[in-house]
């Protein structure tokens, strides 16, 4: 009797194991084939894409992004679409919002786009990088270079010290439009559109005190052609009246 009970228990365990494996396999197959099955249904296909807010990026780029996401509205969310768009445009899209419009002919997508706007244009050798006013770098073949132009040996220098550079640009442009800024490890040169030259310490050493001194010089309305702020606590002005 003991042997029979043991045999029955073994058979029960074996059947349970087989059923469990069949269930797991079925779920795995369902998880594998369901996306493929859904992807073939016409109802889930995007019939048209309408784009609002794009000013430089062509509309076809957004259609390409939708196609990369299998042209299936079920698989398209704002995060995934933004990632694909920034891969296609060099990080040129700041935000995208999606409206799904359900129609008897299918689903239409209306995309509300916010493109990044260049605050400065940075040149490192032959490489051109734009920065928006939040300090985010991006690369776009659809926009033209925007002044001021920043010439540097390292884009990382600009990225790491963007808040300082932004304050410098804003102080200068409150008085005269900027043309070029040259950054090096030993100094910073600023040129305005009237060819005034401002000599400053390296970017990472420019503090609020230096910016306040520059602001005071501009407020005096001196027609200086050269301003040297590399000496602590003082300014050397040439060509002023």
pLDDT at residue 37 in the model: 40
Place of tokens 């009246």: 241
pLDDT at residue 164 in the model: 96
Every domain of the chain with CATH number 3.40.50.11690 lies at: 120-238
Does position 11 have pLDDT exceeding 90, yes or no? Answer: no
Residue bearing the bigger pLDDT, 193 or 164:
164
User: Given phi > 0 = left and psi -120 to 50 = alpha, else beta, which region is 39?
Assistant: alpha
pLDDT at residue 129 in the model: 96
**Fold observed for domain 120-238:** Rossmann fold (3.40.50)
Every domain of the chain with CATH number 3.10.20.310 lies at: 44-115
Q: Does residue 33 sit in helix, strand or coil?
A: helix
CA-nearest of 182, 198, 186, 189 to 150 is: 182
For residue 108, give Cα distances in angstroms to 51, 71, 113, 122, 195: 11, 11, 16, 39, 53
Does position 29 have pLDDT exceeding 90, yes or no? Answer: no
Q: Which CATH superfamily is domain 44-115 in?
A: membrane protein fhac (3.10.20.310)
Among 52-61, 143-152, 222-231, which is the least confidently predicted range?
222-231
Helix axis angle for 208-219 and 162-173, nearest 10°, is 10
Give the percent of the chain with pLDDT over 70.
78
Average pLDDT in the chain:
82
Detail the DSSP E strand segments found in 116-167. 120-124, 127-131, 137-138, 149-151
pTM: 0.77
Tell me how crowded residue 133 is: count the other CB atoms within 10 A of its CB. Answer: 14
Burial 26-39 (b: 16+ CB within 10 A, else e): eeeeeeeeeeeeee
Does position 41 have pLDDT exceeding 80, yes or no? Answer: no
Tell me how crowded residue 199 is: count the other CB atoms within 10 A of its CB. Answer: 16
CA-nearest of 191, 193, 235, 196 to 213 is: 235
Place of tokens 């249904």: 41
pLDDT in tens, 118-140: 999 999 999 999 999 999 999 99
Among 100-104, 154-158, 160-164, 192-196, which is the least confidently predicted range?
100-104
pLDDT at residue 187 in the model: 94
Both structure tokens of 147? 């002044």
Residue bearing the bigger pLDDT, 233 or 21:
233
């Amino acid at each position: 009797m003991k042997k029979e009970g043991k045999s029955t228990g073994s058979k029960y365990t074996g059947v349970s194991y087989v059923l469990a494996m069949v269930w797991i396999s079925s779920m795995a197959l369902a998880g594998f084939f369901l996306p493929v099955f859904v992807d073939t249904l016409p109802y889930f296909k995007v019939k048209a894409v309408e784009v609002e807010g794009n000013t430089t990026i062509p509309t076809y780029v957004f259609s390409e992004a939708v196609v990369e996401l299998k042209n299936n509205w079920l698989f398209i969310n704002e995060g995934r679409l933004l990632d694909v768009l920034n891969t296609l445009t060099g990080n040129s899209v700041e935000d995208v919002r999606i409206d799904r419009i359900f129609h008897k002919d299918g689903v239409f997508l209306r995309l509300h786009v916010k493109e990044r706007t260049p605050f400065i244009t940075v040149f490192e050798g032959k490489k051109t990088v734009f920065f928006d006013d939040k300090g985010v770098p991006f690369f776009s073949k659809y926009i033209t270079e925007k002044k001021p132009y920043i010439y540097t040996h390292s884009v990382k220098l600009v990225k790491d010290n963007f808040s300082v550079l932004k304050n410098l640009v804003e102080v200068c442009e409150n008085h005269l439009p900027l043309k070029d800024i040259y950054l090096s490890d030993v100094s910073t040169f600023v040129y305005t559109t009237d060819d005034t030259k401002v000599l400053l310490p390296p970017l990472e050493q420019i503090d609020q005190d230096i910016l306040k001194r520059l602001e005071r010089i501009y407020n005096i309305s001196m027609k200086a052609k050269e301003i040297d702020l590399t000496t602590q606590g003082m300014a050397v002005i040439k060509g002023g009246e």
